[in-house]
Amino acid sequence: MSNTLKEVLASNKKYSENFTKGSLSLPPARKFAILTCMDARLDPAKFAGLNEGDAHVIRNAGGRASDDAIRSLVISHKLLGTQEWFVIHHTDCGMQLFTNEIMGNLLFETLDTSEFDGKNWRNPNAKGGSIEGKFINWLTFANLEQSVVDDVSRLRYHPLVPPYIPIYGFIYDVRTGKLIEVPKAMEIGKPR
């Protein structure tokens, strides 16, 4: 068993020994959802003041309003009653450090994908890596504020998103722990 696995299970043992949250119900008590980045430095429960049971938290690379984030948010609202959504990107995000082209080439050229079995390439076109990465939109971005505006805008005008849900756009500053409003996103995200 790896050290990581041992440590996670030891932490979980401690957490469950003092567990007092066993009777919470399924729908979020505070009726809102946060979409943010997977970045290790972000702890949405801490930076937004959430207790267990309060709010949905959706996280992916960049905190982007991907199709899958929309799947999650529509379920969050329609089946589980959230009425307000936050989109929170952050400073020093990895998604600003590369592009679709860089990622596609990197995965095509390097050795450690499952198309290599240790001896042979199962796919003769997978020279050094896999072509698959070139068929994925990695959802990188060049401008942080604009990425928040774009994502709030995509949600605001999505056919499955009700016009009365406020969508708030923020940037989390990893140096200060502060949430900074993105005014243009807040304007676009207002209920219509």
Pick out residues in 47-86 that bind its own copies (CB under 8 A).
47-50, 52-61, 66-69, 71-72, 74-76, 78-80, 84, 86
Tell the residue number behind the tokens 């679709």, with chain if given: 100
**Which one of residues 26, 120, 124, 142 is an interface residue with its own copies (CB under 8 A)?**
26
Phi, psi for residue 102 in degrees, rounded to 5: -60, -45
CB of 143 to its own copies, least distance (A): 18
What's the CA dihedral at 57, 61, 65, 71 to 10 degrees? -60
CB of 152 to its own copies, least distance (A): 14
**Which one of residues 33, 148, 149, 188 is an interface residue with its own copies (CB under 8 A)?**
33
**Which one of residues 149, 152, 161, 171 is an interface residue with its own copies (CB under 8 A)?**
161
What's the rounded Cα separation, in Å, for the pair 88 and 35? 6
Q: Which residues from 139-158 bind its own copies, rule CB under 8 A?
A: 139, 156-158
Question: What is the CA angle 89-163-95, rounded to 5?
Answer: 15
Fill in the per-residue mask, 92 to 131: x = in contact with its own copies (CB under 8 A), - = not in contact. Answer: x-xx-xx----x--xx--x-xxxxxxx----x--x---x-
Q: Which residues pair with 86 in a beta bridge?
A: 34, 168
How many residues lie near its own copies (CB under 8 A)? Answer: 104
Q: Are 55 and 35 in contact, with CB atoms under 8 Å apart?
A: no
Two structure tokens written together for 68:
């899958």
Residue among 83 and 146 whose Cβ is closer to its own copies:
83
176 binds its own copies (CB under 8 A): yes
What's the rounded Cα separation, in Å, for the pair 146 and 93? 13
SS3 state of residue 54? coil
**Which one of residues 143, 146, 177, 182 is an interface residue with its own copies (CB under 8 A)?**
177
CB of 145 to its own copies, least distance (A): 18
